[in-house]
Amino acid sequence: MASLGKVVLTLADIAAQLGGDVLGDSQTPVSRVAPVATAGEGEITFLANPKFRSQLSACGASAVILRPDVASEFSGPRIVTANPYAYYARVATLLNPYQSGLSGVHASAVVDSPVPGSVVIGPNVYVGKDVVLGENVVINAGCVIGDGASIGAGTLLHANVTVYFGCDIGRRCIIHSGTVIGSDGFGFAPEGLSWIKIPQIGKVVIGDDVEIGANTAIDRGALEDTVIGDGCKLDNQVHVAHNCRIGANTVLAGCVGIAGSTVFGEHCIVGGGSLISGHLNIAAGTTISGGTTVMKSILNPGVYTSVFPLDTHEEWLRNASHIRRLSKLAERVSELEKKLKEKDIEG
């Protein structure tokens, strides 16, 4: 059975792998991470926001991860680093390594391609022909890997992931259950009252260090490839349509939908439930608030929001009614300005 394996590390062990300065007893052992308010013996916590520094006086953790400017406010063992939150994330990974509970290739798997000895393949997995698997790939139960696909070293597929034929997945990726990579894009040509299917002959290319949440769908390209850049993080139930290109280190929260051929620059953040129209360009460094509908390209980075504020139903209807009349009101104002300008000229 897959699980997170518990380990015990000293502060010296952690610093040797992650850097940072250890103050106090470097041989202090820790095996768990915990919040500042509840951390106790054998646990390590962190303080990322200095406004909560008052909690340090009552903190019972064996060790704390701190920024340099508050390092003196905890007398116990501590690790000092510029970014405690990111450091905590790495410590949590060290203390909770993923363990598949499996080894080798399960007897029920059907594997039609060579497999490195370090690869783990679970029950009822299908691996097609001409598939290339890197070292230490883990493919859990029920996954399907289509012909000609490739999966880079150290990548983990949770149960029931489907990777269609010809798609490429990079190194050290994590793909959660129910995700489908490389399904056909939504492409149909109208002919009278009918729709003629357009073959989707591109593929999906996923970079290194990408994480994709559960039940997410990434469509293969119609002619060119759909590309997910290095370091991207996609939440659950995200849909990326055909021919999209998502720039490196972009984050897409749950239920984001992106229509075809839209291109994101690097390091964008898209809040949950946002809808992005097709054939747009989104500038690098753009943040889109949750629930926003984007109908045109964003050429300058910044924070963009189109969510109508929450209100009672009656007030919302009243405000919506006013918004519907704005166009007519703008026309009337324009006419009045024109008349005033004509009077000024005559006077």
* CATH number of 234's domain: 2.160.10.10
pLDDT tens readout for residues 100-127:
788 899 999 999 999 999 999 999 999 9
Give the active site residue among 158, 176, 239, 242. 242
- Same domain flag for 188 and 225: yes
- Mean pLDDT throughout 7-32? 96
The confidence score (pLDDT) of residue 2 equals 62
- Mean pLDDT throughout 240-255? 98
User: Residue 14: inside a domain, yes or no?
Assistant: yes
- Same domain flag for 32 and 169: no
Count CB neighbours of 333 within 10 A: 10
- For the chain, the maximum distance between any two Cα atoms, rounded to a whole number of angstroms, is 95
The confidence score (pLDDT) of residue 30 equals 97
What pLDDT band is residue 293 in, cutting at 50, 70 and 90? very high
User: Residue 105: inside a domain, yes or no?
Assistant: no
- Same domain flag for 94 and 141: no
- Same domain flag for 114 and 254: yes
Distance between CA atoms of residues 27 and 88, nearest Å? 18
CATH number for the domain that contains residue 35: 3.40.1390.10
User: Which residue in this structure is represented by tokens 């139930």?
Assistant: 237
Question: Is residue 159 over pLDDT 90?
Answer: yes
What pLDDT band is residue 262 in, cutting at 50, 70 and 90? very high
- Same domain flag for 119 and 236: yes
Among 57-61, 134-138, 160-164, 216-220, the range scoring the smallest mean pLDDT is 57-61
- Same domain flag for 342 and 285: no
The confidence score (pLDDT) of residue 4 equals 64
User: Residue 153: inside a domain, yes or no?
Assistant: yes
DSSP SS3 for 175: strand
User: Residue 126: inside a domain, yes or no?
Assistant: yes
- Same domain flag for 235 and 284: yes
Distance between CA atoms of residues 207 and 68, nearest Å? 34
What pLDDT band is residue 346 in, cutting at 50, 70 and 90? low
Question: Is residue 1 over pLDDT 60?
Answer: no
pLDDT tens readout for residues 319-339:
888 888 888 888 999 988 888
What are the distances in angstroms from CA 103 to CA 37, 107, 143, 162? 39, 11, 16, 21
Looking at the DSSP bridge assignments, the partners of residue 21 are: 80
Q: Could you tell me what percent of the chain has a pLDDT over 70?
A: 98
Question: Kindly report the CA angle at 278 between 273 and 284, in degrees rounded to 5?
Answer: 75
Structural domain count, the chain: 3
The residue range of the domain holding 198 is: 110-304
The confidence score (pLDDT) of residue 52 equals 83
What are the distances in angstroms from CA 157 to CA 90, 132, 152, 165? 20, 15, 11, 16
The confidence score (pLDDT) of residue 220 equals 98
Amino acid at 86: A
The confidence score (pLDDT) of residue 141 equals 97
- Same domain flag for 67 and 93: yes
DSSP SS3 for 141: coil
Count CB neighbours of 345 within 10 A: 7
- Same domain flag for 210 and 339: no
- Same domain flag for 114 and 62: no
Nearest one of 240, 247, 304, 225 to 278, comparing CA atoms: 240
Write down the mean pLDDT value for the chain.
94
User: Residue 104: inside a domain, yes or no?
Assistant: no
Q: Could you tell me what percent of the chain has a pLDDT over 90?
A: 82
Dihedral sign from CA coordinates of 34, 35, 40, 44: positive
pLDDT tens readout for residues 206-244:
999 999 999 999 999 999 999 999 999 999 999 999 999
Question: Kindly report the CA angle at 128 between 124 and 133, in degrees rounded to 5?
Answer: 90
Structure tokens that stand for 208 in this block: 């290194």
User: Residue 196: inside a domain, yes or no?
Assistant: yes
Distance between CA atoms of residues 280 and 245, nearest Å? 11
Is 242 annotated as catalytic?
A: yes
- Same domain flag for 57 and 184: no
Distance between CA atoms of residues 155 and 1, nearest Å? 18
Distance between CA atoms of residues 203 and 153, nearest Å? 20
pTM: 0.89
Domain boundary among 70, 99, 128: 99
- Same domain flag for 325 and 268: no
